Structures are given as C-alpha cells and as structure tokens.
Structure 1
C-alpha cells in the first residue's frame, strides 16, 4: 500500500531507539523526510546513519532535551514545513505515589503532557494552512489500565489525551488529525529495564520475569517495535484522514475491556 508519504516532512521525538525509532524508520521507508531526536548525541547520530543506510531517506538529527524551547525550535527549523509530528518521550520511573514530590510531579507533567502540547502549538497552524497534518502522540496502555508505580506517567498521559480531545475535533475539517497510540509491552530497552528491576527485587533471573510476563499476554509474546512503527505510519498516511481523536491500543490483547 502506498501511504502517500513521499516528500512529506516528519518530526519524531525521542527516536534514537525503541518505539520512537521504529516510527521514524517506517516513515522514512514510506518516503518521508524525518528529523529524529534524542538526548544522547552519539546514539542519535548512530540512529540517523542507520536510518539513512536502511531507507535511503533524508534524515536529520537534533540532539537535546525536547522539553527545552531551543530544542523544539531547532526541530521545527530542521524539518521546515512540518507535515507529521510524532510525540514521544520516556515516562517517569517506577515510584510509589507517596514518593512523588512536587518537583517530580512537575517534571513528569512537563515531559509527558506540556512538551507534546508545545510542539503541536508550533506546527499545527502550518498544517492547517497546507490542509494536511498528522499528529500522533505515543502514550501508554496504562492510560486505560493504570499500573501501580506508574501513576505519574498514567496521569500525565491521560491529561494529554484529554487536553487534545477537543483540539482534534477543532482541526479535523482542515485534514489535520490528532491521534494517540497506547503501547502495551514491547521488546524495548525500557521493558528490559523493568524486568531487571523486578528480577532484582524478587531474586530471580530476568529471563524468568520475561517468560512470566509474556505468558500473561493473550498473544503470548511481547510486541515487535516494527509492527508498532507500521501502525504509526498508517495513522500518518493519506488513508487515515477520517481517523482522529482516537486512542489505538496495541497490547496483544492484554487489556480485557471492550471500551
């Protein structure tokens, strides 16, 4: 399927590895020019080179903390006329809610709610003017199925979803869509770090924790980042103009509800 992304210009934040990288890779493979971002300059440069080699796409890298206004400005400047924005950022670490002080609370809300909104504010008017825009916010399945210890992450991402619900409807007539992707357990460094933490606490091998975790997912496995990236690319495509304000749950069937 031709996604109609040839020549489109995309920004994907937190994309030197994991799900962000997977989204950038699928967009690049579909013909988009991609600006990627990450805090580790060396890892980011390596990711950019890998994308260029594997997709032959125009890939630029902007290193830095995406919450900083100067980095946001640099991302938009590198992309030019932004057609696609994929908001991604790491979530706060596991922490009992009693340990979430004001500083941690504000940091989590800034990273996972305020920053995506700020980036959208920077690009959405240009999308409206050109009558094409695709915005995808990577949140978490914990928005629908909260996980104890990830309360700050769940709350900030749910706040982002609620904030943008009305915005999505306001710009839909201009062929600008705003959607959300809620990943479950995917085979990423973040998941491996969670397994390591649990294994240490229980005094068991990490492999044991991983096997147990996969067994609780109806699909019987963890997600492949590439399949997440493919779903992201579709939401950014010319075929997805009638999908907006939606949260796509990609979790191998782990969430047991019907809504």
Structure 2
C-alpha cells in the first residue's frame, strides 16, 4: 500500500523499542525518514543499524523542556509532516499503593510534556497548513486495567486534550488521533505480568498464561502490526480521520463504543 509519504520526515518518540520502533519500521518501509527519539543511545544506534540511514537517532529525555525545544527546532529545519507521541508509563500500582508524589510524577511523565510539545509544534503545523499528530496511549482509556490507576487517570487527560484539539483546530489539514493498545509483546506488559506474579505469588510464566487467557485473540499483539496503523494515521490517506481512538487489543475491551 502506497501511503504517499515518500521523502517525508516524521518524529517518532520512544523509537528504540516497542510501538515506537514498530512505527519507525513501517514509515521507513514507505521510504520516509524518521527522527527517532529515545534516552538510550546504544539502543538508538542499534535501531539505526537495523533500519538504515533513513533513521536519524536523537538522544534525549522527551519529558524535559530542553529536549522538546531542540526537537521543535529540528522539526522546522527538517520540515516534518507528523509526530508519533509515545513514551512509557508509570509503575504498576493500585490506588492504595500510591503516594501523592507518584501522582505528581505521573503528571510530569504522562501529560505535561505532551502538552508542551503539542503547544510548541502546533504553530509550525498551522503555518504549514498540514500535520499529523498521533498519540499512543493505552486501552485503559476505554476500560481500566488492574494496577494501572496512575496510567489510566493521566492517559484519560491526554485523551481529553486530543479530542478537544480535534474540535478547536479546524480547516487546516491537521489531525489528532490516538491508538489505545492492549497487551502487546513490549517491556511495559512484561512489567505488568511481573507485578501480577508477585501479587498472586505465582511464577512469571503462570502469570503470563493467565494474562493471555483474558485476551480473546489468545495471544499478545505484535508492536510491528500496530506500527502499520500508526503509519497510516500519520499519512495523507487519513485526512478524514480526526479525534478518533483506535483500540488495538485483541478483543479485550467489552464496551460497544
């Protein structure tokens, strides 16, 4: 499928693993270039070796203002067409396990930097009269997941921002959409399975089997498959899709909406 993004450039956050890496692969297969952000330089270099010269590594902590400011400067220079906003979540906890400081950290790591980067990139997209902004959050925005009180609460705030932006920014060919992944073979899910094994006093493999029993598809998802959906949402082909949430969860969510 030709997504018509050849020679376009995109920013991908969390590009050295999981959904970010899967999206970078999909974009580069379409002959686009990717500015891939991650904190671990070695993983970025390894990703560049795998994906080739169209992958441009950018080391930094995306939650920090200095990193965002530098990225916005590069975005303008490279004339980017869109951005995948994606990063890891807070530790798995129940409400009673949290301290107020955990909520402060979750705000910093899940919401604040996303507001900052969108506010700083939006004038560029408005001047260009084109842009694609895709958030990767979690299926917990549609149905809460056990021991993810921090993630669920703050990601719902991101959803509110995304949906409101889709209504406020009109007629400029700028779209805002979200992917809400369920259980995929990523480090984040490994942490949740580990937490489940500790709570239930069972082995990691037993916890994983029990976890997968609750997925109608019968197994974990592949981040590379999700990356193909993200690439489409970042392309001109998605021009009539705006303010939407795509659950990619193997059928786990029971809601009809």
Shorter-chain TM-score bucket reads: over 0.9
Residue 162 of structure 1, aligned match among 160, 163, 167: 160
Alpha-carbon displacement from aligned partner over 1:9-43 (angstroms, at most 9, x marks no partner)? 11111121011111111112112211111122212
* 1:62 and 2:74 matched: no
Alpha-carbon displacement from aligned partner over 1:29-83 (angstroms, at most 9, x marks no partner)? 112211111122212221222221xxxx522112121111111122233343221
Q: Which residue of 2 aligns with 1:78?
A: 74
- Segment drifting more, 177-186 vs 22-31: 22-31
The separation in 1 between residues aligned to 2:242 and 2:170, in whole angstroms, is 7
Which secondary structure does the structure 2 equivalent of 1:61 belong to? strand
1:226-237, aligned counterparts within 5 Å?
Answer: 226-237=224-235
What TM-score, normalized to structure 2?
A: 0.93
Which secondary structure does the structure 2 equivalent of 1:173 belong to? coil
TM-superposed CA distance for 1:245, in Å, is: 0.5
TM-superposed CA distance for 1:170, in Å, is: 2.3
* 1:115 and 2:113 matched: yes
Aligned alpha-carbon RMSD (Å): 1.6
Q: 1:60 touches 1:78 (CA, 8 Å); kept in 2?
A: no
Alpha-carbon displacement from aligned partner over 1:138-168 (angstroms, at most 9, x marks no partner)? 1100111112321111111100111232211
Q: 1:14 touches 1:88 (CA, 8 Å); kept in 2?
A: yes
The separation in 1 between residues aligned to 2:146 and 2:208, in whole angstroms, is 19
The separation in 1 between residues aligned to 2:189 and 2:72, in whole angstroms, is 30
The separation in 1 between residues aligned to 2:5 and 2:29, in whole angstroms, is 9
Q: 1:23 touches 1:228 (CA, 8 Å); kept in 2?
A: yes
1:206-221, aligned counterparts within 5 Å?
Answer: 206-221=204-219
TM-superposed CA distance for 1:211, in Å, is: 2.1
Q: Which residue of 2 aligns with 1:28?
A: 28
* 1:18 and 2:18 matched: yes
TM-superposed CA distance for 1:203, in Å, is: 3.7
Q: Which residue of 2 aligns with 1:238?
A: 236
Q: Which residue of 2 aligns with 1:175?
A: 173
1:124-139, aligned counterparts within 5 Å?
Answer: 124-139=122-137
> Is the alpha carbon distance of 1:167 and 1:201 closer, same or farther for their aligned partners in structure 2, counting shifts above 3 Å?
closer
The separation in 1 between residues aligned to 2:138 and 2:186, in whole angstroms, is 14
The separation in 1 between residues aligned to 2:46 and 2:56, in whole angstroms, is 11
Where in structure 2 are there 5+ consecutive unaligned residues? none
The separation in 2 between residues aligned to 1:171 and 1:4, in whole angstroms, is 24
